[in-house]
Amino acid sequence: MFRIGLTGGIGSGKTRVADLLAEWGAAVIDTDAISHALTAAGGGAMAAILAEFGPQAADPAGALDRAWMRELVFRDPQARTRLEAILHPRITAATNAAAEAAAGAPYQVFVVPLLIESGRWRERVDRICVVDCDPATQVDRVQRRSGLTPEAIRRIMAVQVTREQRLEAADDVIVNDGATTPYQLMTRARALHDRWLELAAAKDRTA
């Protein structure tokens, strides 16, 4: 199976790219969506999170209180480690199950926000694709969609690798800066989709 690791900084537009690839037939496995499902009310990680962090870790509906947890892990790096110890094995298991279920797709796309940071994905995928934009555009997009302050957004960006590090690790890049139109983004993503179909077919022939 031909596998793409799709990543990009917060606000880069990787979710839109993933949606386009799914429309064109790729099997998209979004680890962020898996994480959100695990931390929703009644999600598979919530009992362990509440046991580790206490009832204050949940919002009134019983889901993970993301704002509370965000503040905690920024103040206490060990809290991040404790949270990751709960989430990562569960995310990995769910990701593997989703990949197995999608074995018949032309190729698979793993959407991983911290793909470069994790250090675990290079050997799991055939190519890494980065959706790239400048930091100012990231802040503007995230602020418009989430209401977070620029300071809070920059704090999130600070725990991610730099734009330069991400581009250095990329096999493929989709530019989605502030001047990019939806049509341009679609065209750039389509060109790579067609190329990946060719590479997937070539890999199948040599398997």
Flag whether 9 is marked binding: no
**Strands 172-175 and 127-132: what pairing?**
parallel
5 is in an annotated binding site: no
Q: Per the annotation, does 13 bind a ligand?
A: yes
All structural domains of the chain with their residue ranges = 1-26+108-206, 40-104
CATH superfamily for domain 1-26+108-206: P-loop containing nucleotide triphosphate hydrolases (3.40.50.300)
User: 175 is written with which tokens?
Assistant: 């530019």
Backbone angle region of 139, left / alpha / beta, with phi > 0 → left and psi within -120 to 50 → alpha? alpha
Query: Can you give the pLDDT of all 207 residues of the chain as single tens digits?
Result: 999 999 999 999 999 999 999 999 999 999 999 999 999 999 999 999 999 999 999 999 999 999 899 889 888 989 999 999 999 999 999 999 999 999 999 999 999 998 998 888 989 999 999 999 999 999 999 998 888 889 888 988 888 899 999 999 999 999 999 999 999 999 999 999 999 999 999 998 887
3-state secondary structure the chain: CCEEEEECCCCCCHHHHHHHHHHCCCEEEEHHHHHHHHCCCCCCCHHHHHHHHCHHHECCCCCECHHHHHHHHHHCHHHHHHHHHHHHHHHHHHHHHHHHHCCCCCCEEEECCCHHHHCCCCCCCCEEEEEECCHHHHHHHHHHHHCCCHHHHHHHHHCCCCHHHHHHHCCEEEECCCCCCHHHHHHHHHHHHHHHHHHHHHHHHHC
Quick one: which of 109, 143, 142 has its CA closest to 128?
109
16 is in an annotated binding site: yes
> Considering Cα of 92, then 97, then 103, then 105, what sign does the dihedral take?
negative
End-to-end CA distance of the chain: give it in Å, rounded.
9
The reported pLDDT for the residue numbered 158 is 85
Whether 146 has a binding-site annotation, put simply, is no
Name which of 51, 9, 17, 5 is nearest 159 in CA terms: 9
